[in-house]
């Protein structure tokens, strides 16, 4: 039996197809079933059971056999439904991929060079770059303060959830905002599950604040895409997308600065 992701795929397929029937849009299962089906199939139980779920929720596509059971315009995702409880759910397909045709804005790079040298991962580097360059402030138009990195908490009906970084913002009217930020490296893709969780954290832990989930995505050559999301009638959509390129002082011309003045807000 192949190792790694292939082993994970076999296990997750068994869990899915034990309950799948044509027309079904939700399939509930528990974390313990990963061990149960691994033993049933004669596959070594993964040392980190949580990584099986994490892989298919945030990093890798579901097996082709499961994707084949999607209907046009819909996709299968895995939601957390409580402590050690999960659900395959068939939802409207959402694509949160940077628009390659979007104009970019040059920002003078304020990242300390020592951070660039010692960042241990794309995600860690991206969070630091966003923070030191005040990109959340620039993107939202609010004054924003980093409150906590890698928040792990529990939400009723979801169980444990995690957000890469959370900010608290204030606008010119004095309104306060809860701003959860998800960071993705160049090859990683943002999933709808993460944004659903961010809205849930805002409602559960910061009910008096307006919630503005944001995602940051590395593109290439110091280009960073930022997305803002809204939740309307249970559906998540992108309300704003901007691209910021970090540059040295000599890499931004006066005519470029003049052109920014003519842009619509």
Mean pLDDT of the region 117-121 = 80
Confidence bin at 1 (pLDDT 50/70/90): very low
Q: What number of residues does the chain have?
A: 265
**Domain assignment present for 124:** yes
Domain span including residue 78: 5-92
Pairwise CA distance, residues 175 & 29, whole Å: 41
DSSP letter string, 200-211:
HHHHHH-TTSEE
**Domain assignment present for 211:** yes
Higher pLDDT, residue 134 or 83: 134
188 has pLDDT over 80: no
109 and 65 inside one domain: no
Pairwise CA distance, residues 87 & 30, whole Å: 8
Pairwise CA distance, residues 186 & 247, whole Å: 19
**Domain assignment present for 172:** yes
**Domain assignment present for 99:** no
Query: What residues contact residue 106 under an 8 Å CB cut-off, 6+ apart?
Result: 244, 245, 246, 247, 251, 252, 256
pLDDT on residue 215:
96
113 and 85 inside one domain: no
- The residue with tokens 């040059």 is 106
4 has pLDDT over 70: no
244 and 187 inside one domain: yes
Mean pLDDT of the region 152-174 = 92
pLDDT on residue 199:
96
66 and 119 inside one domain: no
Mean pLDDT of the region 146-159 = 90
Q: How distant is the alpha carbon of residue 54 from its chain centre?
A: 12
171 and 255 inside one domain: yes
**pTM (2 decimals)?**
0.86
């Amino acid at each position: 039996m192949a190792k790694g992701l292939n082993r994970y795929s076999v296990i997750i397929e068994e869990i899915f197809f034990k309950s799948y029937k044509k027309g079904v849009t939700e399939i509930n299962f528990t974390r313990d079933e990963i061990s149960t089906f691994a033993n049933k199939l004669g596959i070594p139980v993964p040392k980190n059971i949580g990584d099986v779920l994490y892989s298919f929720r945030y990093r890798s596509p579901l097996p082709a056999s499961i994707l084949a059971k999607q209907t046009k315009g819909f996709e299968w995702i895995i939601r957390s439904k409580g402590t050690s409880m999960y659900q395959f759910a068939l939802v409207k397909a959402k694509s949160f991929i940077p628009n390659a045709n979007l104009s970019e804005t040059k920002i003078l790079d304020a990242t300390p060079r020592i951070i660039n040298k010692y960042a241990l991962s794309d995600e860690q580097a991206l969070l630091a770059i966003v923070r030191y360059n005040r990109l959340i402030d620039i993107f939202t138009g609010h004054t924003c303060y980093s409150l906590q990195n890698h928040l792990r908490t529990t939400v009723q009906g979801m169980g444990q959830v995690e957000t890469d970084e959370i900010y608290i913002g204030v606008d010119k009217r004095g309104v306060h905002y809860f701003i959860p930020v998800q960071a993705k490296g160049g090859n990683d893709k943002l999933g709808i599950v993460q944004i659903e969780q961010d809205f849930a954290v805002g409602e559960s832990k910061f009910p008096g604040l307006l919630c503005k989930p944001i995602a940051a995505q590395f593109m290439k050559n110091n280009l960073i895409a930022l997305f803002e999301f809204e939740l309307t009638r249970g559906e998540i959509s992108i309300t704003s997308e901007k691209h910021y390129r970090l540059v040295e002082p000599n890499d931004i011309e006066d005519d470029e600065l003049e052109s920014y003045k003519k842009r619509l807000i």
